[in-house]
Chains A and B, each alone.
Chain A
Amino acid sequence: MARRWLKFFGFMLMLLPWHAHALLTIEITGGSEAALPIAIVPFGEEGVIPPEDISEIIRNNLQSSGRFAPLAKSDLISRPHEQSQVNFADWRLLRSEGLVIGKVTSQDGENYQVQFQLFDVYRGTQMAGKRYQVPVSGLRNLGHQISDLIYEALTGDVGVFSTRLAFVTVQRTADGARRFALQISDADGANPRTILQSAQPIMSPRWSPDGEQLAYVSFENGNSEVFVQQLRSGDRRSIAAFDGVNSAPSWSPDGKRLALTLSRTGSPELYILELSNGELTRVTHNSQSIDTEPVWMPNGRELVFTSDRGGRPQIYKIPVDGGRATRLTFEGNYNASPDISPDGRKMAMVHAVGGRYYIAVQDLRSGAVQVLTEQGRDESPSFAPNGRMILYATEQNGRGVLAAVSVDGRIHQRLAESGIQVREPAWSPLRK
Chain B
Amino acid sequence: MKLLKLSAMMLAAVWMAGCSSTAKKDGEVEGADRVVVEDRSITSGVSGDGVDGSDFGTEASVIAGDGSFRGRGFDDPSSPLSQRVVYFEFDSSAVRAEDQHILEAHAAYLGANPNVTVRLEGHTDERGSREYNLALGERRAISIRQALMLQGAGMNQFRVVSFGEERPAVEGSGEGVWQQNRRVEIIYTGR
Assess the A336–B132 pair: CB atoms within 8 A. Answer: yes
With a CB–CB cut-off of 8 A, which chain A residues contact B76? Answer: none
Interface pick from A19-27, A79-87, A103-111, A240-248: A240-248
With a CB–CB cut-off of 8 A, which chain B residues contact A357? Answer: 127-128
**Any chain B CB within 8 A of the CB of A424?**
yes
> A266: which of B130, B142, B162 is its contact (CB, 8 Å)?
B142
Assess the A379–B138 pair: CB atoms within 8 A. Answer: no
Assess the B166–A201 pair: CB atoms within 8 A. Answer: yes
Residue of B nearest to A180 (CB): B166
Assess the B135–A380 pair: CB atoms within 8 A. Answer: no
With a CB–CB cut-off of 8 A, which chain B residues contact A288? Answer: 40
**Any chain B CB within 8 A of the CB of A293?**
yes
> B161: which of A222, A306, A424 is its contact (CB, 8 Å)?
A222
Distance A338 CA – B136 CA, assembled complex (angstroms) = 18
Per-residue contact bits, chain B 36-71, to A (CB 8 Å; 1 contact, 0 not): 000011101010000000000000000000000000
Assess the A203–B46 pair: CB atoms within 8 A. Answer: no
Distance A292 CA – B128 CA, assembled complex (angstroms) = 13
**Any chain A CB within 8 A of the CB of B172?**
yes
Assess the A247–B134 pair: CB atoms within 8 A. Answer: yes
Per-residue contact bits, chain A 385-400, to B (CB 8 Å; 1 contact, 0 not): 0000000000100100
Assess the A219–B166 pair: CB atoms within 8 A. Answer: yes
With a CB–CB cut-off of 8 A, which chain B residues contact A379? Answer: 128-130
Distance A413 CA – B40 CA, assembled complex (angstroms) = 40
Distance A245 CA – B122 CA, assembled complex (angstroms) = 11
**Any chain B CB within 8 A of the CB of A323?**
no
Distance A377 CA – B128 CA, assembled complex (angstroms) = 8
With a CB–CB cut-off of 8 A, which chain B residues contact A336? Answer: 128-129, 131-132
With a CB–CB cut-off of 8 A, which chain A residues contact B44? Answer: 355
Distance A231 CA – B160 CA, assembled complex (angstroms) = 32
- Measured CB to CB, the closest approach of chain B to A408, in angstroms, equals 24
**Any chain B CB within 8 A of the CB of A263?**
yes
Residue of A nearest to B130 (CB): A203
Supposing A244-B160, A313-B128 touch, asked if A292 and B135 sit within 8 A by C-beta, the answer is yes
**Any chain B CB within 8 A of the CB of A350?**
yes
With a CB–CB cut-off of 8 A, which chain A residues contact B162? Answer: 224, 245
Residue of A nearest to B160 (CB): A244
Interface size class of B (residues with CB under 8 A): 20 to 34
Supposing A224-B134, A245-B134, A292-B134 touch, asked if A350 and B129 sit within 8 A by C-beta, the answer is yes
- B46, B130, B136, B142: which has the most chain A beta carbons within 10 Å? B130
Assess the B42–A203 pair: CB atoms within 8 A. Answer: no
**Any chain A CB within 8 A of the CB of B167?**
yes
Distance A379 CA – B164 CA, assembled complex (angstroms) = 15
> B131: which of A204, A223, A312, A352 is its contact (CB, 8 Å)?
A204
- Measured CB to CB, the closest approach of chain A to B128, in angstroms, equals 6
- Measured CB to CB, the closest approach of chain B to A377, in angstroms, equals 8
- Measured CB to CB, the closest approach of chain B to A267, in angstroms, equals 8
Assess the A306–B129 pair: CB atoms within 8 A. Answer: yes
With a CB–CB cut-off of 8 A, which chain B residues contact A266? Answer: 142
> B130: which of A289, A355, A380, A395 is its contact (CB, 8 Å)?
A380
Residues 93-145 (chain B) with a chain A CB within 8 angstroms: 127-132, 134-136, 138-139, 142
Distance A135 CA – B139 CA, assembled complex (angstroms) = 54
Assess the B134–A312 pair: CB atoms within 8 A. Answer: no
Residue of A nearest to B42 (CB): A311
Distance A292 CA – B166 CA, assembled complex (angstroms) = 17
Residue of B nearest to A203 (CB): B130
With a CB–CB cut-off of 8 A, which chain B residues contact A350? Answer: 128-129
Per-residue contact bits, chain B 157-180, to A (CB 8 Å; 1 contact, 0 not): 000111110110000110000000
- Measured CB to CB, the closest approach of chain A to B119, in angstroms, equals 9
- Measured CB to CB, the closest approach of chain B to A309, in angstroms, equals 10
Supposing A222-B161, A261-B131, A290-B135 touch, asked if A308 and B166 sit within 8 A by C-beta, the answer is no
> B135: which of A261, A377, A424 is its contact (CB, 8 Å)?
A261
**Any chain B CB within 8 A of the CB of A159?**
no
Q: Which 9 A-B pairs have the closest CB atoms?
A: A201-B166, A336-B129, A290-B135, A268-B135, A337-B129, A293-B131, A355-B46, A248-B131, A292-B131
Chain B positions near chain A (C-beta within 8 angstroms)? 40-42, 44, 46, 91, 127-132, 134-136, 138-139, 142, 160-164, 166-167, 172-173
Given contacts A222-B161, A377-B173, 7 further A-B contacts (CB under 8 A): A203-B164, A290-B132, A292-B131, A312-B91, A313-B128, A313-B129, A380-B130
A-B contacts, 7 listed (Cβ < 8 Å) = A201-B163, A204-B131, A224-B162, A247-B131, A268-B135, A336-B132, A354-B46
